[in-house]
Amino acid sequence: MVAINTLPILLMSFIAIAITSTKAGEITFEYNSDNSPPHHPLFACEIKSTKCRRAYHYTHLIYHPLDLKLSVCYNPFMVKAWYHHLNFAHKNWGDFVSTYYVTCPRGDKQCLIESQRKGSDYVQEVVQAEIDEQTYCNASVRCWEAKNLVEHCYKNQHD
């Protein structure tokens, strides 16, 4: 077991590895803010995974039968994500947590009608099933309607 005092040392070693693994003259910036919502987001979903941190693990999947599209709302930058992943005191210890907007393709009225009629529980089931089938991310999904969203696309607790 890793002593809590060694956690900062581990984090610094991850940073050193990240710095040494970049090409000379190449700088990649990741920032820690919410992305602008897409056109008419219907739902928002939180995805927690013990294995997959990158957004492309989820945004490039096919979500049948509704043909849903996921786009990033909030994905913490690398150092923060690893800190929360390794921090024993954090409530989501061991998980990479990110949130996504859920939309239908433009002009797809069938997707729009079905997803609104069946609601967030159904959308959650579809997203969970497709992630389980198409990846090895060991993810858990929670979804809600995209109304009155607060920071990082979470639902307002007062609604």
127 dihedral zone (left: phi>0; alpha: psi -120 to 50; beta): alpha
Give tens-digit pLDDT for 76-116.
755 455 555 455 555 555 678 899 999 999 999 999 999 99
Spatial separation of the C-alpha atoms in residues 119 and 103, rounded to whole Å = 13
Give the burial class of 62: count Cβ atoms within 10 A of its Cβ; 0-12 exposed, 13-18 middle, 19 or more buried. Answer: exposed
Which pLDDT does position 113 carry in this prediction?
95
Structure-block tokens of residue 24: 């000379």
Closest CA to 140 of 94, 102, 103, 104: 94
Tens-digit pLDDT string for the chain (159 aa): 555 566 566 556 555 444 443 444 444 444 445 678 888 899 999 999 988 888 999 999 999 999 999 999 987 755 455 555 455 555 555 678 899 999 999 999 999 999 999 999 999 999 999 999 999 999 999 999 998 888 889 888 765
Which pLDDT does position 53 carry in this prediction?
81
Which pLDDT does position 41 carry in this prediction?
93
Beta bridge partners of 149: 155
Which pLDDT does position 30 carry in this prediction?
41
Longest C-alpha distance within the chain, in Å?
55
Question: Rounded to a whole number, what is the distance in angstroms from the first to the last CA of the chain?
Answer: 42
Which pLDDT does position 136 carry in this prediction?
94
Which pLDDT does position 148 carry in this prediction?
85
Closest CA to 32 of 72, 74, 70: 74
Question: At 87, phi and psi to the nearest 5?
Answer: -80, 110
Structure-block tokens of residue 97: 């947590």
Quick check: helix, strand or coil at residue 73? strand
